[in-house]
């Protein structure tokens, strides 16, 4: 479990959306994505991931950090580092399938985690943020026995699998209307005890900001593919 839970709670707030980027700046971010090397191409999950490498585009590095500071205040980056130990500014994900229930609370129990941000780079996508919070390290939540049997050994940079959410949040049935509208890619029983805080419908130029303790997922509504930039922060 996270060792600085009470300090983390002091910085928590409701998810919010702000208009932050011009159309030109969005095109610059998409251009950066096109140039970056592929970090991971998971053909099973149908997702392509690229790390925003520090100093790959110093002008855009500076712009992005200044934009984030204008909405987050003081923060430190808390993204995974390169193999050489350099910081990265975020993770681009090009997804063809919806991401399931998880939390991006980091891999180090001593960190004072803060906000994570999502910058839509495609005009269609939906992100579901739940009211429920998790104060352990980064985790994928599942009741699938095969997924749970894979491993629970902690590996830096890889989420563990857990069904603890079903024990913590209770057995209240998930709202069936919300399930049919947004979450048909999930087992509805995996969502017991959860309530939706916000359904964010992606819009170019905006940024979604929410606490890293929030459980979240994609919606099942993906027309073809979606592209977004995610950044994790700490205090």
Of 165, 183, 194, 186, the C-alpha closest to 221 is: 183
| Residue 153 binned pLDDT confidence (cut-offs 50, 70, 90) | low
What is the distance of C-alpha 130 from the center of its chain?
A: 12
CA atoms within 13 A on the CB side of 37: 5
For the cut 80, the answer to whether the pLDDT of residue 81 exceeds it is no
CA atoms within 13 A on the CB side of 130: 29
pLDDT reported for residue 115: 98
pLDDT reported for residue 79: 83
* Six token digits for residue 43: 């053909």
For the chain, domain boundaries = 5-234
* Six token digits for residue 155: 């590996």
pTM above 0.75, yes or no: yes
pLDDT tens-digit profile of 179-227? 999 999 999 999 999 999 999 999 999 999 999 999 999 999 987 889 9
pLDDT reported for residue 11: 97
Contact indicator for 129, 21 with CB cutoff of 8 Å: no
What CATH architecture is 5-234? Sandwich (2.60)
3-class secondary-structure state, position 130: strand
């Amino acid at each position: 479990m996270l060792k600085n839970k009470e300090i983390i709670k002091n910085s928590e707030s409701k998810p919010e959306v702000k208009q932050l980027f011009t159309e030109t700046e969005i095109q610059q971010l998409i251009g950066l994505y096109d140039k970056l090397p592929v970090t991971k191409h998971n053909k099973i999950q149908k997702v392509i991931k690229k790390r925003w490498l520090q100093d790959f585009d110093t002008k855009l590095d500076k712009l992005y950090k200044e934009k984030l500071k204008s909405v987050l205040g003081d923060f430190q980056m808390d993204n995974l580092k390169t193999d050489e130990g350099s910081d990265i500014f975020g993770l681009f994900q090009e997804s063809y399938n919806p991401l399931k229930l998880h939390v991006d609370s980091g891999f180090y129990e001593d960190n004072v985690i803060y906000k994570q941000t999502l910058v839509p780079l495609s005009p269609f996508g939906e992100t579901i943020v739940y009211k429920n919070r998790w104060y352990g390290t980064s985790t994928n939540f599942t009741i699938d026995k095969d997924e749970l049997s894979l491993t629970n050994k902690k590996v830096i940079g890889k989420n563990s699998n857990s069904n603890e959410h079903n024990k913590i949040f209770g057995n209240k049935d998930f709202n069936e209307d919300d399930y049919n509208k947004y979450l048909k890619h999930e087992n509805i029983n995996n969502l017991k005890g959860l309530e939706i805080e916000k359904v964010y419908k992606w819009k170019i130029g905006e940024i979604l900001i929410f606490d890293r303790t929030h459980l979240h997922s994609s919606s099942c509504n993906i027309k073809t593919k979606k592209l977004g930039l995610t950044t994790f922060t700490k205090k």
